[in-house]
Amino acid sequence: MSRPASRFISPSLQWGMIGLIAIALSLWQAGLFRQTVVNFNGFPLLWRFVAASVHPDLSYDLLATTLQASLVTLAYAVCGTFLSVTIGAIAGVFCSEVWWLEVLRAKRLRYFGFHSVRAILAFPRAIHELIWGLFFLNIWGLDPLVAVAAIAIPFGAITAKVFSEILDETPRQPLLALINSGVAPITAFFYTLLPQAFLNLLSYSFYRFECSIRSAAVLGIIGAGGLGYEILLSLQSLRYEQLWTFFYALLILNGGVDIASATLRNQLGCASRIDLNSHRPTKRNISNSRIFSLFPIAIAGVALSFWYIQPDLSKIGSPRSQQLLHQIVQTSLPPNFTGIAELIPLSVETVAMSVLAIAIAASGGLLLAFPAAQIFLLSGLLNRRGNANLFPLVLLVIARIVLLLCRAIPAPIWALVVLYVLFPGILPGAIGLGLHNLGILGRLFAEVIENLEQPPLKALSAGGTPNSLVFLYGVLPATMPRFLAYTLYRWEVCMRETVIVGLVGAGGLGRLLTEQLSSFDYQSLIVTLGAFLVLTFLVDWISGRVRRSLRAS
């Protein structure tokens, strides 16, 4: 009796084949095999753009403008991160299973309470911060409050989800021991579970701050100010020398935040960016006083940032804001379903754009991650001469600069640059998203490589195993599961980010959303937003199912 054919194909191979088919269909949807996509007349403009990188504008006036814009972007990120972590810390407790099951002991209310809170948070999490920014712009006008709220609301919902997962995955034995000994459940929660999970929560907060820097730059494109706004003005006026000055400022800002974040995580023994519940082994004990000594510095930084940008908090509950919000709600109902037929092809374009973007990001990130991993190249695993050869060091610096450049420049700016040599469509948007996420994935991949257990690999290398076999049988099997997990995670993010490249006309639902927001067509916007939310949740579900299938194999 023959076995079913599916048993001879591993889940990894099955999903890999499905992924290749999805990429091929997405390329066809992008018109790669059906129409001309390259605009050869745009190559001179692209060359001018690239050539300007070696002689940026360093005039005093522009440097002063760059410094002011950099401080605004940094202040937006600090304020947005503070509010998002505050929201996430509170909501994350209430959407964690451990809170309902072990602390409240409300098993009957668990289903209603747990799932209700998660359902409420799913809506702001699925909407990109750019859409929130455009929405608040119509109510509050050009005020720094727009950028801060646009970062805080979606990032707060995302942070709450991640914080709840950290709490649920933290060992509960100490909590249950205290509860069973008669300690009040809430007291036991704050004295056992939170201290255990604290470093993981802190680590993810650092990562969220890095994301806020990039989002603050994106929000500048809609007029919120900062480096993103200056970059868009320079790009539209074709002032490439000024443009590269702002690019280099973004590189310095992102690089400085990355280095500071990594240094703090290493000193405190935090997990690596978004690896949950995976403490690094440390050679010294981290005292509580050392950890909590950071809080006065953080509070001072938040206070200084709010003082610098001076958001008008009175607008939140002002009569004018309430009147405008009431008008938006009135004009949004009833929803206009007359253009619903247009949403089907645009939804297909949106999914195709996200698939191509993550394919570009994953393949490029994989190629650059290994030379960007300091421990991997400089430890001598694949270079027997170790530090005696300068080539690995040069390769390391180049790879890290490329990754930093890719993730520092916002995806809409990449899309605008690509539009020099490609005709409008979803392909420029996919490439813009792919380049931006390539820098993020490549850095995450490099951290996975740097955190590999070194003794098994060194044992293989010392035993005379060829470098290619050490890489093939030692490195790849140990890193691929995390590479795939990060790729699927970023695919979910790419789906949300299709909105921001739609702002520059890259196609998909993002273009339609921005057009409807700009024309105040809220009745149609509600329907388009609903379609986008369905796609976002669908991608989340597929990504989760693939991850579970790969873990089980």
169 pLDDT exceeds 70? Answer: yes
* Residue 433: pLDDT band with limits 50, 70, 90: very high
pLDDT at 273: 54
- CA–CA distances in Å: residue 368 to residues 202, 371, 378: 28, 6, 15
Phi, psi of 422 (to 5 degrees): -125, 145
Provide the pLDDT for residue 127.
85
For residues 422 and 37, is the Cβ–Cβ distance under 8 A? yes
Residue 424 CB-density burial (10 A; 0-12 exposed, 13-18 middle, 19+ buried): middle
pLDDT at 307: 94
Give the range among 32-41, 105-114, 278-287, 481-490 with minimum mean pLDDT: 278-287
pLDDT of residue 284: 43
The pLDDT assigned to 468 comes to 65
The predicted structure's pLDDT at residue 244: 93
Task: Looking at mean pLDDT, say which of 175-184, 300-309, 533-542 comes out highest.
Answer: 300-309
For position 218, what pLDDT does the model report? 87
Average of per-residue pLDDT across 247-255: 91
In this predicted structure, the answer to whether residue 381 has a pLDDT above a threshold of 70 is no
**Does 456 or 16 have the greater pLDDT score?**
16
Q: What is the pLDDT of residue 253?
A: 92
Q: Is the pLDDT of residue 272 over 70?
A: no
What pLDDT digit, counting tens, does each position of 33-62 carry?
Answer: 777 778 888 888 889 999 999 999 999 999
What pLDDT, on the 0 to 100 scale, is given for residue 280?
Answer: 43
Confidence band, pLDDT 50/70/90 cuts, at residue 292: low
Domains defined along the chain, listed by start = 58-329 (1.10.3720.10), 356-552 (1.10.3720.10)
Find all residues with CB under 8 Å of 431, minimum gap 6, and list them. 356, 357, 360, 414, 415, 418, 422
Q: Residue 189 corresponds to which amino acid?
A: F
Structure confidence at residue 362 (pLDDT): 93
Q: Which two tokens stand for residue 191?
A: 């004295």
What's the whole-number mean pLDDT along residues 526-531? 87
Structure tokens at 96: 């964690």
pLDDT band at 173 (very low <50, low <70, confident <90, very high): confident
241 pLDDT above the threshold of 90: yes
Residue 467 pLDDT grade (very low, low, confident, very high; cuts 50, 70, 90): low
Q: Is residue 246's pLDDT more than 50?
A: yes
Instruction: Report whether pLDDT(144) > 80.
Output: yes
Band of residue 248 on the pLDDT scale cut at 50, 70, 90: very high
Cα distance between residue 152 and residue 159, in whole Å: 10
Q: What is the pLDDT of residue 380?
A: 52
How is 250-308 classified by DSSP, letter by letter?
HHHHHHHHHHHHHHHHHHHT--STT-TT-PPP-SSPPPHHHHHTHHHHHHHHHHHHHHH
What angle is formed at CA 190 by the lines to CA 299 and CA 262, rounded to 5 degrees? 45
